[in-house]
Amino acid sequence: MAEEAILGYLEKNEQISDSGNFAAERGFDHNDVVNVIKSLHGFRYIDAQDIKRETWVLTGEGKKYAAEGSPEVQLFLAVPAEGSISKDELQKKLDPAVFKIGCSQAGKNKWVEMGKQVSRKVQNVEDKVKDLLLQVQNGHALSKEEISSLKARKLIVPQTWKGYSVRKGPNYAPKRKKAATDLTRENLQKGDWKELEFKEYNFNAKGQPAEGGHLHPLLKVRKQLKDIFLQMGFEEMPTNNFVESSFWNFDALFQPQQHPARDSHDTFFLEEPSTTRELPEDYVERVKRVHESGGYGSRGYGYEWKREEANKNLLRTHTTAVSSRMLKALAEKPFAPKKYFSIDRVFRNEAVDRTHLAEFHQIEGLVCDRGLTLGDLIGVLHDFFSRLGMSKLRFKPAYNPYTEPSMEIFSYHEGFGKWVEVGNSGMFRPEMLLPMGLPEDVHVIAWGLSLER
Amino acid sequence: MPTVSVGRDRLFAALGKSYTKEEFEDLCFCFGIELDDVTTEKAIIRKEKHLDEEGDENDEEVIYKIEVPANRYDLLCLEGIAQALRVFNKQQEIPKYTLSDVSKDSMLQMHVKPETSSIRPYVVCAVLRDISFDEASYNSFIDLQDKLHQNICRRRTLVAIGTHDLDTLQGPFTYEALPPSHINFVPLKQTRDFTADELMEFYKSDLKLKKYLHIIENSPLYPVLYDQNRTVLSLPPIINGAHSAITLKTKNVFIECTATDLTKAKIVLNTMVTIFSEYCKRKYQVEPVEVVYADGRSYVYPDLSAYNMEVSLSYINHTIGVSLEAEEVTSLLNRMQLHAERSASGNNQWNINVLVPPTRSDVLHPCDVMEDVAIAYGYNNIPKRKPASVKPLALNEFSDLMRLEIAMNGFTEVLTWILCSSKEISTMLNRQTDESTAVVGNPRTSDFEVVRTTLMPGILKTIGHNKDHPKPIKIYEVGDVVLLDEKKDVGASCRRRLAALYCGANSGFELIHCLVDRIMEVIGTPFVPVGDDTGYYIQRSDEPEFLPGRQASITHKGKHVGTFGIVHPEVMSSFEQSLKNISYVD
């Protein structure tokens, strides 16, 4: 209706100069007209220019006086035409606010004589305030003085009125074609798709959010690392044993019993099951000897090795605990070279913060073969890390109780512009391998890193 | 790993050379220590007190915090680090540590009472004669004890060190274990005397000392050291006596280490005396002390003898993966403070005869010697030996990752023919015949006339052949198309493409749009405004196979990579579908 009226009017006329007048003349609600104008403007059927007007509206007080008359007139009428009335009695006849304002205004207008007794000074008064208020209510313009007198008494407030002036737009048509938002089965069946005009897509916004599920990013990376190991010919170790004995986690690795890592503030020891039930006794004996007095060419650590320490159960602090079991098993058969890997959870008694986790995934790779050298380790690390996108590596001498030599692996981080430690590596010590029963010329090179890092 | 704080300027003075931070970091890296932090004394204090204001850094002494390996106790102070680096840089010969020539009769003695065996059975001692401290070296001497206590001594449980001004004492000394109430002395930093049980109570509120009380607290006897005049030297492992406290002016230092682990006690004593004998009048000389047990056993400490190790040259070469001559190996070992000489082992083979000095308690096995050769040679100079392995094809790896991602967004994978009829890639797609199409010369049927140039016909045919399948249908394909290519010897090459299609009662345009977004998200490309070459953006396109105004092109880092839109109804009908769908090609 409003839309048809606007488009129809513009077909014959140059412009609609004031949407307010246009609405009023045709009996439309101005808000409805504004909505239609905005929509037609959006589709460029018309061009709309903002117009603003300052108008005045009555306050609550103003509305009241417009209906009931101004307080001064109410007061005047309460005073008898002849004689006088006591002020107290007059007050009782009127609303307190009306009485207060009425007294001052009627006094100012010299309509009444104020004292203990109140009497009229003139016989007839005109309620000019009420008349003015009614004019404002009906949208008539007032003079500047009239406005300011009403404004001063807080009977009217300004209000900004917004409307439009409207001309034909570039897409003007006497009748709007409704733009389709989508192509439907119905359109195809009816064949009316040819006539359809589509609402333009907004490609500055992204599409709606996807509904599909996702895999965990860390486990996606785990899968990629697993693929890398498999491509490099490594076999996965069974690491589904979080509970481990100190023996396999530490002692078998030639890690002395007073080593700080074996403190309770670094390792989670178990209350239940608190100790391991069995260990391979002859091997335990060889491990004890190598810790206490060495052998296999070593001086040993020269301390009293305690079985109770080795029996303590813990949550494994590294997957190397599994490696030590695997290497021991390997030593029991005629020697065959092996490449092993694992990616699984390990536990450290750490307060969790930005750079520390109490549990994380350790990635470990090891190669066990005759005649392996540090050059092999460096080579395999280059191969492994280049597959992760780190081709610039260098190695720093480091200390690990169970590897010698030990190398920290640093990779150049282009983003940070510096060398960043990415892992640790080394050759397992003879004091670890020989008590297991591996042949003397068998070397084991190994490295580890964290999946989370 | 332990961290040692040293004054940079003092360190450089000791090294006889100034380094830039980067040069010094490099030297550390090669040697196997790490410059962890650069700070100043005042900055450390500010940090402790959580103060924010910046000091004038230029006025303050720069402190290097250096991380050292946990088994290198000889590197726990500036003197040790400086000496190791000087030798590593060939600026200094390896020091030869000797015991001063004292006759057995004039040697100081420490008598050990049998009761000590129940609480802390071992003691080892030594004397540094004619030492001259300055403030820095004195502080370093105190700090080293603290570092040793925290590391190898396992917070004094295994070993506790006491250092004394020998000139205030008179030997022979005794090491005893007595009931606490019988021990009475003025402890360090106090002015009145305490009995040992009072002292234990007193230190319960001492932040630094209370953590050591448990070591002896529950024992009926406490270990204690006396001199000849019953002056208490120390109540190990808690506190020394005030009487024999050392000062900057102390000339002769008596060092005692009481222990529950004799091996570690010897290492600790050796570390202390070897490092600080540098400041003695007779450099690198230490005066021994005889420790006499009640049963008549007697030992002279410190034991500065070198440990002899024979390591075969071939073991070193074969384990590192190098072929060094014996002379090279010995000179490399000298840089790591290990005396080494070659010796013949027969069969034209060389052995390396290594003398491990008392400072290098970390050398347990020939593998430790081998490591030192590798470090001095330089880990980063060792030739790498590449293992046999295979590498996957990056293109297929990427395709497989994409296939998984799209399936996870609810699309089902289809596998369609590579060959198709020529009209399926032209007129049926509202297109002209593509000039870069590879054409089959002898097709048996019209279904196999050309090699596809787009995945669209296959995926549309799939819908056409499955008209009765309940809607909506969401399918995708990742596969190769062939385009003529002059750069190839044969004149044509494969291109990997991705297509996804939605078919339902409405167009599903938003679903395909969201798939585009998701793919860009997983490959790490941000959504950017049109014209920005750092990510991807989407613009209106005008392709004949899609409905006009219902289609868009995808630009990835400035390059057009694909189009998506509502398939043109005429195209749909060519493929025998009465439903609408969208295709997207990457």
- Picking from B319, B380, B518, the nearest residue to A394 by CB comes out as B380
Q: What is the pLDDT of residue B581?
A: 47
pLDDT in tens, B198-214: 999 999 999 899 999 99
> Is A10's pLDDT higher than 80?
yes
Query: What is the identity of the amino acid at B274?
Result: T
> Is B582's pLDDT higher than 60?
no
Instruction: Assign A22 a pLDDT band (cuts: 50, 70, 90).
Output: confident
Give the contacts of A162 (CB within 8 A, at least 6 positions apart). A34, A50, A51, A52
Q: For residue B412, which of B421, B420, B422, B404 has the smallest C-alpha distance?
A: B404
Residue A354 DSSP label: T
Q: For residue A428, which of A313, A340, A343 has the smallest C-alpha distance?
A: A340
Asked if A367 lies within 8 A of B387 by C-beta distance, the reply is yes
pLDDT in tens, A222-237: 889 999 999 999 999 9
Question: Quick one: angle between helices B78-88 and B21-31, nearest 10?
Answer: 80
Instruction: Assign B33 a pLDDT band (cuts: 50, 70, 90).
Output: very high
Contacts A296 to B, Cβ<8 Å: 365
pLDDT in tens, B86-98: 999 999 999 999 9
pLDDT in tens, A86-115: 888 878 888 888 888 888 888 788 888 877
Task: Please name each of the domains of chain B with its CATH number.
Answer: 3-89 (3.30.56.10), 98-301 (3.50.40.10), 307-380 (3.30.56.10), 394-585 (3.30.930.10)
Q: What is the pLDDT of residue B549?
A: 87
Mean pLDDT lowest for which of A45-49, A433-437, B169-173? A45-49
A356-363, long-range: CB within 8 Å, 24+ apart, which pairs? A357/A452, A360/A450, A360/A451, A360/A452, A361/A218, A361/A222, A361/A450, A361/A451, A361/A452, A362/A318, A362/A319, A362/A448, A362/A449, A362/A450, A362/A451, A363/A225, A363/A448, A363/A449, A363/A450, A363/A451
Q: What is the pLDDT of residue B508?
A: 83
> Using an 8 Å Cβ cutoff, are A166 and A48 in contact?
yes
Higher pLDDT, residue A200 or A319: A319
- Give which of B31, B385, B568 to mutate to test A binding, by max A Cβ within 10 Å: B385
Give the whole-angstrom CA distance, residue B93 versus residue B256: 29
Q: What is the pLDDT of residue B574?
A: 67
Asked if B31 lies within 8 A of A427 by C-beta distance, the reply is no
Higher pLDDT, residue A13 or A405: A405
Contacts B549 to A, Cβ<8 Å: 198, 200-201
- Minimal C-alpha gap between A202 and chain B (Å): 9
**What is the rounded average pLDDT for all residues in chain A?**
88
Q: What is the pLDDT of residue A447?
A: 97
Asked if B579 lies within 8 A of A188 by C-beta distance, the reply is yes
ipTM for this model:
0.74
Q: Tell me the backbone φ, ψ of residue B561, rounded to 5 degrees.
A: -120, -10
Q: What average pLDDT does the segment B481-510 reach?
A: 87
Give the contacts of B182 (CB within 8 A, at least 6 positions apart). B195, B196
Q: What is the pLDDT of residue A72?
A: 83
- Minimal C-alpha gap between B229 and chain A (Å): 35
Tokens of B489: 């010897």
Q: What is the pLDDT of residue B127?
A: 96
Task: Please name each of the domains of chain A with its CATH number.
Answer: 1-58+157-185 (3.30.1370.240), 220-450 (3.30.930.10)
Q: What is the pLDDT of residue B56?
A: 54
Contacts A405 to B, Cβ<8 Å: 320, 367, 370-371, 374-375, 379
Contacts A189 to B, Cβ<8 Å: 578
Per-residue DSSP letters for B192-221? S-EEHHHHHHHGGG-TTTGGGGGGTTT-SS
Residue with the two structure tokens 């004397």: B127
Q: What is the pLDDT of residue B58?
A: 59
Q: What average pLDDT does the segment A199-226 reach?
A: 83
Asked if B514 lies within 8 A of A207 by C-beta distance, the reply is yes
pTM of the model: 0.71
Residue A332 DSSP label: T
Q: What average pLDDT does the segment B341-351 reach?
A: 85
Asked if B390 lies within 8 A of A258 by C-beta distance, the reply is no
> Is B281's pLDDT higher than 60?
yes
> Is B575's pLDDT higher than 70?
no
Length of chain B: 586
**What is the rounded average pLDDT for all residues in chain B?**
90
Instruction: Assign B248 a pLDDT band (cuts: 50, 70, 90).
Output: very high
Could you give the dihedral angle defined by the CA atoms of residues B367, B373, B377 and B379, in that order, rounded to the nearest 10 degrees? 20
pLDDT in tens, B373-422: 999 999 999 998 888 887 888 888 888 899 999 999 889 999 988 889 99
Rounded to the nearest angstrom, the gap between the alpha carbon of residue B131 and the centroid of all alpha carbons in its chain is 38
Q: What average pLDDT does the segment A156-184 reach?
A: 82
- Picking from B32, B320, B572, the nearest residue to A373 by CB comes out as B320
Instruction: Assign B577 a pLDDT band (cuts: 50, 70, 90).
Output: very low
Residue with the two structure tokens 């192509």: A183
Q: What average pLDDT does the segment A141-153 reach?
A: 82
pLDDT in tens, A354-389: 888 888 999 999 999 999 999 999 999 999 999 999
Q: What is the pLDDT of residue B580?
A: 43
Q: What average pLDDT does the segment B120-133 reach?
A: 95
Asked if B550 lies within 8 A of A201 by C-beta distance, the reply is yes
